[in-house]
Amino acid sequence: MSAASGACSAADALDVMMLESADKKLKKREYMRNIMRFYREEKRDELDALKAQVAALQSEYKSRLRASKRDLLLPWRQVAIALRDDLRDIQNERASLRAKAAALASLIRTSKGWVSTNLTSMHAITPTWRNVTLERDEQARELGKAWITKQMYHNTDRMFGQYAYPAVTSSDEFFDIGVDNTDVSFQYHHRRQYAVDVPMECVLDAYKRHLCAVLMMDWYGYQANPTLTEMSGNTTLHQLSADEWMNLVTGEFHDHDRCVFVVQQVQHDAANPTTQRQRNRMIWLDMRPIAGGRTLVRVLYRFDQYFDPWGFVPLEEEALSWGCDLQHVQDDQKERTFHAYCTNLLVTINANHQAKINAHLTTIMHASLE
């Protein structure tokens, strides 16, 4: 009994162990099934979310695509406005081009007439290229200034060669005057060569900005009247209405060792018509820097008897403008008397000129440095 009873107890214990082991396996399997179910549910939820997101994105894409297509199709009103604006721009451009073409055609006609006029001697006062006019049109006016001054510049050496001058290396002051009585008028010229105690730039600036004051200094003393009315490129225009009409175009030209400054009276100015008397004036200045900050100046100054639209003024009026009264002089002695008078006056003026111009230019230089 005891042995049999022990065997049964051992069998029962083994059965219990097997049951417990089987139970553990079942629980583990159940646990794994639950884990896998949860995992599948999670993946399914994630997939559903992704599908929903894809659907939403596709819907938004289609919506934006439709909106984009609508934006590309402008309303007819906007299309019409755009076409109208383009047409207006084209019409404005066409009008501008037509205006430019008309202006150029006018400039060509004016220039042809101007050149034809200046290639023909219109008045006995001046031969060929010395007869000068300016048009009112701005472009034609600028071309006229350039043509006048370049003509004078290209004749510089010829004009200085026509009148004997000392060598440019000479430091001696030189002046000479001439009064010629032609068949129609009196003609005058000054020749000067001298050195001034200021740099060339100061001399040039004085003539560019104070031309009439410098030219009138000998007769009336320095007068600081503003006469500069036009300045463009290398040209200026000075105007002064006193006992005569001065309408002077200037041009400056720089060579490697000198500056040439030319001046010409504009006799016929469409922008400034006048019946006032005037003189034909032509001036050539050759300025060269020399040692000590000084400047060597050569001047050729030519001018003619007064004239107005009706011709040269009478001899008595011309003489009186110089201070010579011919009222009581016999007719056959008037020309000789005036010739002697103005010759002596010009000699006196030239004799004192260098000191005056040197003092004046020195004053300008010091004023510019203050």
Shared-domain flag, residues 199 and 324: yes
Highest mean predicted confidence (pLDDT) among 219-233, 257-271, 347-361: 257-271
Report the phi/psi class of residue 291: left, alpha or beta, with left for phi > 0 and alpha for psi in -120 to 50. Answer: beta
What is the domain extent for residue 24? 1-73
How far, CA to CA in Å, does 306 sit from each of 16, 89, 176? 153, 56, 22
Residue 106 lies in a domain: no
The helix or strand, by DSSP H or E, that contains position 15, with its residue range, turns out to be helix 2-72
Instruction: Give the number of domains in the chain.
Output: 2
Shared-domain flag, residues 162 and 63: no
Residue 115 lies in a domain: no
> Which CATH number covers residue 191?
3.30.530.20
Domain end among 18, 40, 73: 73
Residue 130 lies in a domain: no
Q: Is the pLDDT of residue 152 over 80?
A: yes
| Nearest to 218, CA basis, from 47, 90, 357, 123 | 357
Residue 61 lies in a domain: yes
Residue 128 lies in a domain: no
Say what the pLDDT of residue 37 is: 79
Shared-domain flag, residues 302 and 184: yes
Range 290-315 average pLDDT: 92
Shared-domain flag, residues 274 and 361: yes
Spatial CB neighbours of 321, under 8 Å, sequence gap ≥ 6: 243, 306
- In this prediction the pTM is 0.67
Q: Check if the beta carbon of residue 196 is closer than 8 Å to that of residue 302.
A: no
Q: Is the pLDDT of residue 72 over 70?
A: no
How far, CA to CA in Å, does 121 sit from each of 266, 268, 318? 15, 13, 23
pLDDT band at 127 (very low <50, low <70, confident <90, very high): very low
Pairwise CA distance, residues 70 & 61, whole Å: 14
Domain end among 56, 73, 90: 73
Shared-domain flag, residues 69 and 150: no
Q: Check if the beta carbon of residue 262 is closer than 8 Å to that of residue 235.
A: no
Site of tokens 């030319």: 262
Shared-domain flag, residues 40 and 168: no
Task: Round the average pLDDT of the chain to a whole number and report it.
Answer: 82
Q: Give the type of residue at 234.
A: N
Q: Check if the beta carbon of residue 205 is closer than 8 Å to that of residue 302.
A: no
Residue 271 lies in a domain: yes
Residue 135 lies in a domain: no
Note the pLDDT tens digit of each residue in 189-248: 889 999 989 999 988 988 888 888 777 654 545 556 688 889 988 999 999 888 889 999
Say what the pLDDT of residue 74 is: 64
Q: Is the pLDDT of residue 99 over 60?
A: yes
How far, CA to CA in Å, does 108 sit from each of 100, 104, 115, 137, 163? 12, 6, 10, 11, 38
Residue 171 lies in a domain: yes
Domain end among 73, 99, 131: 73
Shared-domain flag, residues 343 and 213: yes
